[in-house]
Structure 1
Amino acid sequence: MRYIRYASIAIFAVALILIALANRGTVTVKVLPNELAALAAVNPSYDMPLFIVMFGGILAGLIVGFIWEWIREAKERMEAARQAREMQQMRAEIRRLKGEKHQGKDEVLALLEEAG
C-alpha cells in the first residue's frame, strides 16, 4: 500500500512538472480591470510565468474550500463539544451517586457489593 501511495505522489509530481514546463510563457497579471484602474489611478501589474498563475489559482481555491468547509462544520463541532460536556457531567453524577450509595459502609463490602 505504501508503494502505491509513493507511485501516486510521483505521478502527480511528474504531471505538475510537465504542466509547468509546458506553460513557461510570461503573462501580465493586473490587479484591476482597465476601467477601474482609470478611476483608482493605480493599477499594479506583474509579469510572471503562466504556470505560477495556474498553480496560484488552484492553491487559492483549495484555501477557500478548506475555510468554507471549516465554517460549514462549525455546527457539528459545537454539537460534539456539547455532547462531550454532557458526558463529563454524567460521569461526575455517576461517581457522586456511587459514593452516596456506599456512604457509611465498609470499603471492602462496598467493593464486593458493586462487583456482584
Structure 2
Amino acid sequence: MRYLRYLVFGSIAVGLVIVALANRGEVSLTLMPLALGNLIGFNLQLQIPLFTVIFLGVMTGLLIGFVWEWLREMKHRTAAKTEHRQVVRLEREVSKLKSGTAKEQDDVLALLEKVS
C-alpha cells in the first residue's frame, strides 16, 4: 500500500514537472487594465513563468474550496458535538440509576423520614 502511494505521488510530481517545462515562457501579469492604470498613474506589473500562474491558480482554487466546505460543514459539526454531549449525559444518568447511587426518593420524603 505504501508503494502504491509513492507511485501515485511520483506520477503526480512527474506530471507537474512536465507541465512546468512545457509552460516556462514568461507572461506579463498586470494589476489593472492598462487604460485604468494609466488614468490612476499606478499599475503593478510582474513578469513570471506561465506555470507559476497555473499552479498558483490551482492552489488558490483548492484553498478557497477547502475553506468554503469547512464553513459549510461547521453547522453539522456543532450539531454532532451537541448530540454527543447529550448522549454522554444520558449514559451517565443511566449508569448512576443502575448502580443505585441515585436518590431513591424525593428530598421532601427524605426530610420527613429524618424528622419522624
Residue 74 of structure 1 and its aligned partner are, at CA, apart by 1.1
Match of 1:24? 24
* Aligned-CA RMSD value: 2.0
Report the 3-state secondary structure (helix = DSSP H, G, I; strand = E; otherwise coil) of the residue aligned with 1:86. Answer: helix
Larger Rg: 2
Q: Hey, what's the Cα distance between the residues in 1 that align with 2:49 and 2:23? A: 7
Count of residue pairs the alignment pairs up: 103
Paired position in structure 1 for 2:102:
100
CA distance in structure 2 between the aligned counterparts of 1:2 and 1:34, rounded to whole angstroms = 51
* Alignment match, 1:10: 10
The CA distance in 1 between the partners of 2:97 and 2:35, in whole Å, is: 74
Question: Does residue 72 of structure 1 match 2:72?
Answer: yes
Q: Distance in 2 between matches of 1:76 and 1:18?
A: 41
Q: Which residue number in structure 1 is paired with residue 47 of structure 2?
A: 47
Tell me the TM-score normalised to structure 1 length.
0.78
Quick one: which amino acid aligns to residue 15 of structure 1? G
Find the aligned partners of 1:13 and 1:65 in 2 and give their Cα distance: 22
